[in-house]
Amino acid sequence: MAELLAVRGLRVDFATDRGPAQVLDGINLDIATGEVVGLVGESGCGKTTLARAILGILPEGAARIRGGEVRFRGTDLLREDPAAVNERVRGRAITFIPQDPFTSFSPLFPIGTQIMDLMKWKSPRARNGRRPLSIFGRYPRTRYRTDREAVLETLRAVQIAEPARALRRLPHEFSGGQRQRFMIAMALLPQPDLIIADEPTTALDVTIQAQILRLLRELVKERGVSVLFTTHDLGTAHEICDRVVVMYAGQEMEAAPTDAFFGRPAHPYTRRLLASVPGPDGEIRDIPGEVPSLVTPPSGCRFHPRCDYATAECRDQRPALRALASSHGVRCHHPVDAPAGADA
């Protein structure tokens, strides 16, 4: 499969009262065209920061990119002219589905106004030439009409009943699941190559979650769009992803196709994380210790203070990426080579 996005050695620091926190520490990530990649890990592991770094919307002032590259279709977004990225990539070639469907719409304007606002700038038919549209600039009428048709069609695709009427209604008239359908429609409308979905189903009930996941997977597969799906719910990742990458404290630990990730996890952290999901046996296994501070992170492999297999080597040296099988990579000095369930 063709490479769409390649993040290489990305380092991001956040300024804190106690010094810089190394939130991303040399992260690598690959997404091929048409692939759904899951980014899993616990809160604070840097999932959202990575997603935001790719979109180029890290909080200004607090975050500082210290190195690495974000290569999208061959160009490094970090070194590209920001105006060009804004015009051609952000919201166009890469779109975003936020976590919280309740606060992502303005409560004051009808859904339709908010979607057409997006289309004014980010419609695939918008040609932002030398003189881009100004905020006061008129939305060209012919394009408005074609864009509106596209909006109605996409709303039908995400199964919104009576889309024309829905556009006139206010966000509070819709449930969380329906609002998330609008969000998916808005992410699809600019005809992007990559959608970044940041925990899009966390706020929803399981039955609604199942509906939304199914819809999202069908739509992106049908259109050949790639998705980076961040989640802390391993079950959700299993549902929707072709490949899963697990992060811990700002480092990627393991990347594997979904079946291998859940069937033959090799990193001790991955195995611990999978084991902590309550299973049918009623046994509950936690991971001893706490997530480390990113201001003073552990040396070497950041998981070593909590790892059963840790040796002096793990403390001193960050493990290199090791390929176990095709597209199954693990960053560990002592990867576990056994099917899941053999030990924990």
Partner 1 sequence: MSTPAAPLLELVDLARHFPVRNAFGRRVGWLRAVDGVSLAVRSGETLGLVGESGCGKSTLGKTVMGIYTPTAGDIRFAGREIGRLPRRARRTVAKDLQYVYQDPGASLDPRWKIVHSLHEPLKIHTTLSRAERDREVRAILAAVGLPDAHLDLYPHELSGGQQRRVGLARILTLRPRLVILDEPTSGLDVSVQASVLKLFRNLQDAFALTYVFISHDLSVVRAMCAGIAVMYLGKIVEFGPTAGVFAGPRHPYTQSLLAAVPRIGGRRVTQDFALVGEPPNPRDVPSGCRFRTRCPLAQARCAAEEPPLRPLDGRTVACHFA
Nearer to partner 1, 72 or 269 (CB): 269
- Is 262 an interacting residue with respect to partner 1 (CB under 8 A)? yes
Mark 187-206 with x for binding to partner 1 (rule: CB under 8 A) and - for no binding: ---------------x--xx
Q: How many residues bind partner 1 (CB under 8 A)?
A: 42
- Is 207 an interacting residue with respect to partner 1 (CB under 8 A)? yes
- Is 214 an interacting residue with respect to partner 1 (CB under 8 A)? yes
- Is 277 an interacting residue with respect to partner 1 (CB under 8 A)? yes
Work out the angle at residue 158's Cα, subtended by the Cα atoms of residues 155 and 162, and round it to the nearest 5 degrees.
Answer: 45
Q: Judged by CB under 8 A, which of 132, 137, 224, 235 binds partner 1? A: 235
Mark 45-84 with x for binding to partner 1 (rule: CB under 8 A) and - for no binding: ----------------------------------------
DSSP state of 304: G
CA–CA separation, 227 vs 195, rounded Å? 5
CA–CA separation, 159 vs 129, rounded Å? 34
CA–CA separation, 105 vs 231, rounded Å? 21
Nearer to partner 1, 96 or 269 (CB): 269
Do β-strands 36-40 and 226-231 pair in parallel, antiparallel, or remain unpaired? parallel
List the beta bridge partners of residue 255.
Answer: 245, 329
- Residue 243's identity, in one-letter code, is R
Nearer to partner 1, 123 or 258 (CB): 258
Q: Judged by CB under 8 A, which of 17, 81, 222, 286 binds partner 1? A: 286
Region 143-172 residues binding partner 1, contact defined as CB under 8 A:
none
Q: Judged by CB under 8 A, which of 10, 58, 63, 234 binds partner 1? A: 234
**Residue 75: helix, strand or coil by DSSP?**
strand
H or E element, residue 12: strand 3-16
The C-alpha R_g of the chain, in whole angstroms, comes to: 21
- Is 265 an interacting residue with respect to partner 1 (CB under 8 A)? no
- Is 175 an interacting residue with respect to partner 1 (CB under 8 A)? yes
- Is 240 an interacting residue with respect to partner 1 (CB under 8 A)? yes
Given a contact cutoff of 8 angstroms between Cβ atoms, the answer to whether 272 and 260 are in contact is: no
Nearer to partner 1, 46 or 190 (CB): 46
Work out the angle at residue 336's Cα, subtended by the Cα atoms of residues 330 and 337, and round it to the nearest 5 degrees.
Answer: 100
Q: Which residues of 144-183 are buried (b: 16+ CB within 10 A; e: fewer)?
A: eeebbebbbebbebbebeebeebbeeebeebebbbbbbbb
Q: Judged by CB under 8 A, which of 49, 209, 226, 251 binds partner 1? A: 209
Q: Judged by CB under 8 A, which of 3, 42, 87, 100 binds partner 1? A: 42
Nearer to partner 1, 143 or 217 (CB): 217
Q: Give me the least distance between CB of 248 and partner 1, in Å please.
A: 10
Q: Which residues of 57-87 are buried (b: 16+ CB within 10 A; e: fewer)?
A: ebeeeebebeebbbbbeeeebbebeeeebbb
Nearer to partner 1, 116 or 213 (CB): 213
Residues that bind partner 1 (CB under 8 A): 42-43, 175-178, 202, 205-211, 213-214, 217, 232-236, 238-240, 262-263, 272-274, 276-280, 282-287, 290
